[in-house]
Chains A and B, each alone.
Chain A
């Protein structure tokens, strides 16, 4: 049964990348059936009516598949519900009278653009650094012509679940991007099509990741716990192996 609850929000407001930013508090009455982003929509409508600047936050699909949304809710990326993006978090997870602190994902490599919006183009540059995949040109190949084991296909698809939301970076005590990069490295490394450039790709992507200024992994495994898609840290181990092999060859 839906019901109305009153909440106190403490939200990070920052005009642009170069301004310093500060917390503002807001009161909101929301329906428990509303999603977290719908609750923010309500706050924003009230802000607009009273002539104030609405809270900027990223979103697109609002069904947990695009990876655009995300903020740190009471110290946890995407909030208190595991394997759930912020857009799929619902207000029934909160109680009447709760206080919610909302902060952007924080990493030097992903600067705040405005309020809760961060610039994740560092992720794009890491993926670009991976380069191309060699393919045969010529006629259209038969579907299913390339054999792949069920296990590897499943693991590759698990890795490909990554939506690039950057909650892993936000959750990591060191602001490391290892989980994201390893998911991208793994989903090609596990497929036959990814073999020709397998090791050099891992190396190039790791080097770009370091260049972007992400932190160093110390195997805290917070990333895996915070990932809305449940990407496993076994991908990080796979990337470490491929990276080592690239160094040895």
Chain B
């Protein structure tokens, strides 16, 4: 039987499981986004496909929001417990091991991702996809046009690229951490898992970040007429 206190006693593992599900979402989201390189038809068709899912799409969205909330709620709970577990803090504290920057910055990268997520949802998900903001060369290109036009603003590109850096860092620690928490540790393979963790984290970050960079730098709209990929 499901008991709420049972879930609460699995605080730490709840962070891991929701985090793992979010990583799978990111991979799905990245594959969809990369369709932008195929042009307006492919990308908008993908957007319409998601739109056409109707109820399923809303269920998925609620699930996704649930995952983010679970991840954040239990993270806050666990961090509060950890601070309490130390009690009085050390006057001098010097790491003994090889804690990487990614590991040390987990709370900071996580918080940055949250801020980013709010901005990001306002930018696209909650925006109307068929206003003047989507018009390129006199043609309304829907979500595709909205994304391309929005990344003509340099500060938005910088913000998105920094946020992808934070996501990459978060994943570099997170992926190998998930393996350890689920009990996978091996004298040979663990080294490779750590490397794979860095590789996948960087790959996902570069994949996402390439989009605003490519749009702004390579396919820059010096004139309205040249504004296309």
Residue positions of A touching B, CB distance < 8 A: 10, 12, 23, 72, 74-77, 82, 101, 103, 106-109, 111, 171, 173-176, 210, 213-222, 224-226, 233-234, 236-238, 240-242, 244
**Residues of chain B whose beta carbon lies under 8 Å from any beta carbon of chain A:** 9, 11-12, 78, 81-82, 84-99, 103, 106, 173, 176-177, 180-187, 190
| B86 x A106 contact (CB < 8 A) | yes
Contact at B85–A76, with CB atoms within 8 Å?
no
User: Of B82, B94, B181, which contacts A219 at CB under 8 A?
Assistant: B181
Extra A-B contacts (14), CB below 8 Å, given A106-B90, A174-B85, A218-B82 = A72-B92, A74-B92, A106-B87, A107-B86, A111-B87, A171-B96, A173-B82, A216-B78, A216-B81, A217-B12, A220-B99, A222-B96, A237-B183, A237-B184
| Nearest CB in chain B: distance from A239 CB, A | 8
Known: A217-B12, A218-B106, A219-B177. A108 touches B97 (CB 8 A): no
Q: Inter-chain contact count A-B, CB under 8 Å?
A: 112
State how many angstroms separate the Cβ of A165 from the closest Cβ of chain B: 14
Tell me whether A107 and B187 are in contact in the complex, defined as CB-CB below 8 angstroms, given that A75-B90, A216-B11, A244-B182 are known contacts.
no
Q: Are B187 and A234 neighbours in the complex by a CB distance under 8 Å?
A: yes
Q: Which residues of the partner chain A approach B96 to less than 8 Å between Cβ atoms? A: 76-77, 82, 171, 222, 225-226
Which residue of B87, B106, B186 contacts A107 across the interface (Cβ within 8 Å)?
A: B87
Taking the closest CB of chain A, its distance from the CB of B138, in whole angstroms, is 53
Q: How far is the CA of A12 from the CA of B89 in the complex (A)?
A: 12
Could you jot down 24 A-B contacts, CB within 8 Å? A10-B91, A72-B90, A72-B92, A82-B96, A103-B90, A103-B92, A107-B86, A108-B87, A109-B85, A171-B96, A174-B85, A175-B82, A176-B85, A214-B85, A216-B85, A218-B12, A220-B97, A221-B99, A236-B180, A237-B180, A237-B183, A237-B185, A238-B183, A240-B180
